[in-house]
C-alpha cells in the first residue's frame, strides 16, 4: 500500500451538519401565491468560516491502462390535478392488516480518470445482524409541481420509480388549495399499482403556515386521513412523516419544541393508529437534537446530498495549499484541482455528526432513525424579480454514484435514503421524467433529460438495501455533461450562478459491464480515449471543449456491445443563456 501524503487544509465548519443560517431570498410572496406552480425553495446556507478537517484513508489500487489518440498515460482504478379545493376530512380509508487532512492529489498527468466498484462477481459478506432491519430508498416528490397531473400520471411515476428500485415517495406538500387533491390521487394510484409502493407526507414548512394552532391542525388532518391507507409507510408501528424545514415553527406556542410537541407529535389526535414516527429535516445544530426529544424520532439530513461546504472561496483556499487555483490551466495542475475537489464528494462528516446527535438524545425506547440524502445535481437560476436564487453546489466528480458508494460504506448506521429529488426542476436535481408543471424553470430544464440517473438508481438502491452490490446483468453506458463551457459568456441578465468556477468542462461517465470490456470515449475527432475496465460499475471521465460531443462505446471480444452518441447534444462555446444543468444520456446493450 502506498502511503498517502497528508495536507492540512482549511475548510468551512458549517457543513450541512452544523447550524445553518438560512438566507432569506428576495421572492415576492404575493407573486408566489398568484402562481401556484412556484415552490419557494430556500436552501442556500450562509456559511460560517472556520476550520474543520477530515482524513481520507489511502488504499492500494490495482493499475489499469488508459490510452488516447494523442498520448498514453497511466490511469488508476479505485476498488471500492383537480383544480378545486378538496377537504381532507372527506377522504377515508378502511384499515388493512398489511401493513476532510485530504490526501494530496497525485500530480502525475492523467488525461482521464476512472474508478470502479468491487467487481460484480466478488463475494460479499452477508449483512451483519444490525443490518437486517429493512432499509428504504425514497424519492422526494414535489406535489407543487403536479398541478396538471391525472391519476395516470401518478400511476406512471409510481410504476417507473418502483421498477428502478425506489420503495416510495415522500410527498412534499405545500399550501396550495389544489394540493390535497393531488395527494389523494397519489395514494389512489399507489393502491391500484399492484405493488407495495409506499407514500408518506413531507410537509414543506418553507411554504406551509405554522404560526397558530389551526396550522398544525391541517398537518394532523393529513396524517389521520392516510394513517390507515395500505400504501402509507408505517415505520416501527407508526405513521411515518417528515418535513422540509420547520425548525422555527411554533404553532402559537412558546417555542418550536413546544409547538411541534403539543400541536403535532404529542397531540391527542395523533395517538393509537394515528401516532407518528416523525423524521423532519430541521436545519439545526445536531448538538441541539436533544431539545427536540418529544418531537423527533429521527432526522432527515437534507443537505447531506451535496458538498454544500464547498464554495469558490473555500476551494481556492484549499487549492492554494497545493499551489493551484480554480483558474489553473496547466494539465498537471488541472488534474490536481480535480482530484482535490473530489475529496469533498467522498466525505461523510455530515452524516457522522447527525448520527452522533441522534445517539446523544435521551432514549425513547426505540432507536432513532437517520435518513440520509443523495442527489445527482444542483443548479438554480432565478432572477431577483422571482426567487432570487442563482447558484450551484459542486456536483462534479461523479457526485451521484460516489454518494451512493459512501452510503454503502456506512449503511449500518443509515436507516433510510431519500433521493433529492424526483421532480424538483427549479433546482435541477430531478431523476424522473420532465412532466407536470415546471416552476418557470423551462430555460434550464427543457431538453435536459435526467432519466439516465433514474436507471442507474436501481443498481445502487438494490445494493444499499441488500448490503452487497448486485451483479451487473446488462452492459450499460451513462454519460452526462453541462451544455456549455464553464467560462462561456452569454447575454443573460440573470448572470452566471454563484460558484460556477467550481465546475469542469468534462463528460462524466459510468460504464456498467457484465465482464471485462473496452470502453472508448470521445468528445471530438481528436480526443478519443480508451479504457480497459473490469466487470462492475466503472466511473470514467473525459474533457470536452466548445463544439464537442458525447460518444461512448463498450466493446468485448471485438464486438460492439453498446454505442451511445446523443445527436441532440453539442457542447456550446457561446450560449444564449447560462445553463449549468446536466444533459444525461444512457444506453444499454441491444438498445
For the chain, list residues with pLDDT below 50: 1-114, 117-131
**Residue 284 CA: distances (Å) to CA of 81, 243, 316:** 35, 13, 28
pLDDT score recorded for residue 133: 73
Task: Give the three cell numbers for residue 349.
Answer: 462528516
Residue 520 belongs to what H/E stretch? strand 517-524
Nearest alpha-carbon partner for 407 in 304, 482, 561: 304
pLDDT score recorded for residue 342: 81
pLDDT score recorded for residue 132: 52
* Calpha distance 505→484 (Å, rounded): 8
For residue 557, give every residue at least 6 positions away whose Cβ sits within 8 Å of its Cβ, in sequence order, or none.
Answer: none
For the chain, the C-alpha Rg in angstroms (whole number) is 24
* Calpha distance 31→154 (Å, rounded): 28
Domains in the chain (CATH in brackets) are 6-80+100-588 (3.20.20.80)
Task: Give the three cell numbers for residue 38.
Answer: 412556484
pLDDT score recorded for residue 6: 31
pLDDT score recorded for residue 125: 37
pLDDT score recorded for residue 78: 32
**Residue 109 CA: distances (Å) to CA of 2, 65, 330, 331, 480:** 18, 13, 10, 7, 23
Amino acid at each position: 500500500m502506498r502511503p498517502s501524503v497528508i495536507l492540512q487544509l482549511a475548510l468551512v465548519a458549517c457543513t450541512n451538519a452544523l447550524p445553518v443560517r438560512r438566507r432569506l431570498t428576495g421572492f415576492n410572496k404575493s407573486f408566489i401565491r398568484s402562481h401556484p406552480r412556484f415552490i419557494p425553495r430556500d436552501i442556500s446556507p450562509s456559511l460560517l468560516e472556520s476550520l474543520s478537517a477530515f482524513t481520507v484513508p489511502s488504499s492500494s489500487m490495482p493499475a489499469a491502462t488508459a490510452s488516447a489518440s494523442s498520448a498514453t498515460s497511466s490511469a488508476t482504478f479505485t476498488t471500492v390535478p383537480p383544480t378545486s379545493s378538496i377537504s381532507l376530512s372527506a377522504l377515508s380509508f378502511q384499515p388493512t392488516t398489511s401493513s476532510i487532512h485530504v490526501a494530496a492529489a497525485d500530480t502525475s498527468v492523467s488525461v482521464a480518470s476512472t474508478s470502479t466498484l468491487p467487481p460484480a462477481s466478488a463475494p460479499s459478506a452477508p449483512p451483519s445482524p444490525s443490518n437486517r432491519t429493512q432499509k428504504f430508498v425514497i424519492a422526494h416528490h414535489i406535489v407543487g409541481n403536479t398541478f396538471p397531473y391525472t391519476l395516470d400520471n401518478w400511476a406512471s411515476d409510481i410504476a417507473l420509480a418502483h421498477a428502478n428500485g425506489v420503495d416510495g415517495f415522500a410527498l412534499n406538500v405545500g399550501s396550495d388549495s389544489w394540493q390535497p387533491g393531488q395527494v389523494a390521487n397519489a395514494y389512489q394510484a399507489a393502491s391500484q399499482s399492484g405493488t407495495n409502493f409506499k407514500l408518506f407526507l413531507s410537509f414543506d414548512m418553507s411554504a406551509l403556515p405554522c404560526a397558530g394552532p389551526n396550522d398544525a391542525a391541517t398537518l394532523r388532518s393529513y396524517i389521520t386521513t392516510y394513517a390507515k391507507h395500505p400504501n402509507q409507510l408505517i415505520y416501527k408501528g407508526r405513521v411515518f412523516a417528515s418535513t422540509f424545514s420547520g425548525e422555527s415553527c411554533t404553532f402559537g406556542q412558546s417555542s418550536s419544541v413546544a409547538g411541534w410537541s403539543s400541536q403535532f407529535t404529542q397531540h391527542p389526535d395523533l395517538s393509537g393508529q394515528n401516532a407518528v414516527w416523525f423524521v423532519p429535516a430541521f436545519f439545526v445544530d445536531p448538538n441541539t437534537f436533544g431539545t427536540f426529544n418529544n418531537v423527533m424520532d429521527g432526522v432527515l439530513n437534507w443537505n447531506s446530498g451535496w458538498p454544500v461546504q464547498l464554495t469558490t472561496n473555500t476551494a481556492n483556499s484549499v487549492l492554494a495549499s497545493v499551489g493551484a487555483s480554480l483558474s489553473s490551466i496547466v494539465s498537471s495542475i488541472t488534474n490536481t484541482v480535480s482530484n482535490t475537489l473530489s475529496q469533498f464528494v467522498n466525505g461523510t462528516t455530515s452524516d457522522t455528526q447527525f448520527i452522533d446527535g441522534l445517539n446523544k438524545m435521551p432514549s425513547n425506547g426505540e432507536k432513532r432513525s437517520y435518513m440520509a440524502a443523495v442527489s445527482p445535481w444542483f443548479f438554480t437560476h432565478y432572477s431577483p424579480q422571482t426567487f432570487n436564487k442563482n447558484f450551484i453546489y459542486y456536483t462534479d466528480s461523479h457526485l451521484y454514484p460516489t454518494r451512493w458508494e459512501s452510503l454503502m460504506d456506512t449503511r449500518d448506521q443509515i436507516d433510510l435514503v431519500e433521493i433529492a429529488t424526483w421532480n424538483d426542476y427549479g433546482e435541477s436535481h430531478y431523476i424522473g421524467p420532465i412532466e407536470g408543471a415546471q416552476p418557470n424553470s423551462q430555460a434550464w430544464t427543457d431538453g435536459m433529460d435526467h432519466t439516465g440517473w433514474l436507471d442507474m438508481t436501481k443498481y445502487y438502491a438494490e445494493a444499499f438495501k441488500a448490503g452487497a452490490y448486485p451483479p451487473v446483468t446488462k452492459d450499460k453506458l451513462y454519460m452526462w455533461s453541462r451544455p456549455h463551457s464553464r467560462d462561456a459568456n452569454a447575454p443573460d441578465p440573470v448572470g452566471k450562478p454563484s460558484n460556477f468556477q467550481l465546475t469542469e468542462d468534462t463528460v462524466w461517465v459510468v460504464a456498467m459491464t457484465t465482464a471485462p470490456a473496452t470502453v472508448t470515449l470521445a468528445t471530438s475527432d481528436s480526443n478519443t480515449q480508451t479504457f480497459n475496465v473490469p466487470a462492475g460499475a466503472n466511473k470514467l471521465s473525459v474533457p470536452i471543449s466548445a463544439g464537442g460531443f458525447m460518444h461512448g462505446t463498450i466493446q468485448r471480444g471485438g464486438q460492439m456491445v453498446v454505442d451511445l452518441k446523443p445527436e441532440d447534444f453539442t457542447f456550446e462555446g457561446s450560449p444564449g443563456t447560462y445553463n449549468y444543468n446536466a444533459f444525461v444520456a444512457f444506453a444499454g446493450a441491444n438498445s
